[in-house]
Amino acid sequence: MDTALLPVLPSDPSLARDTEELYDALEDLLRVYQFRDRDRICCFDVSVSQCYALEGLVRRGGMTLNDLAAYLYLDKSTASRVVDALERKGYVTRLPHPKDRRAVLLEATPAGRELEGKIRESILAEERQLLADFAPEVRQAMTVLIRRLARAASASVETGGGSCCRIP
């Protein structure tokens, strides 16, 4: 179990309220981003999962299919089909793994890199404007917190074994 980084301060009166507000704000953000991501399909010729997969393959170099499935929190069969689609469109290639003949090495093609760059830049441009209003220390602190939320969620997902209600 990933323990808390610091002990909880039970006397902090604003914690409960701040948490609720963050929860609501995050809920809104997730909802609208899921729509925005769905909408990318028609703009950029990829689906949501395909976009995430492409992004992962550009960010990190060659991953195996299992790596990609873990990165996307998807079943490997689903990841395989996502790669099928990206390969058909010419954004990704399956290469033989040099050390393990069962495995494949996934690589983004130049076209894939270019598409990922276009998507990334279109979103970065929008977000830069928003962040400009915040002091650098605040921006950096927010990134730290968001990373920590992501890591904690990822840890709780992994210790939960992927299925939260399984009681073995």
Partner DNA sequence: CCAGATAGTTGCAACCGCCAACTATCCCGT
Partner DNA sequence: ACGGGATAGTTGGCGGTTGCAACTATCTGG
Report residue 95: phi and psi, to 5°. Answer: -115, 150
Shortest Å, Cβ 16 to DNA: 31
* Total residues interacting with a second copy, rule: CB under 8 A: 77
* 51 touches 119 (CB < 8 A): yes
Residue with Cβ nearer DNA (77 or 156): 77
Among positions 68-97, residues that touch a second copy (CB under 8 A) are 71-74
Residue with Cβ nearer DNA (52 or 58): 52
In the structure, how many helices (H) and strands (E) does the chain have? 6, 2
Shortest Å, Cβ 158 to a second copy: 10
66 binds, among DNA, a second copy, none (CB under 5 to 8 A by kind): DNA
27 is a site residue for a second copy (CB under 8 A) = yes
Gyration radius (Cα) of the chain, Å: 19
140 is a site residue for a second copy (CB under 8 A) = yes
Going by C-beta distance under 8 Å and a sequence separation of 6 or more, which residues neighbour residue 123?
none
31 binds, among DNA, a second copy, none (CB under 5 to 8 A by kind): a second copy
Interface stretch with a second copy, choices 84-92, 99-107, 108-116, 144-152 (CB under 8 A): 144-152
Closest to 58 (Cα-Cα) out of 20, 109, 19: 109
- Decide: helix, strand or coil at residue 80: helix
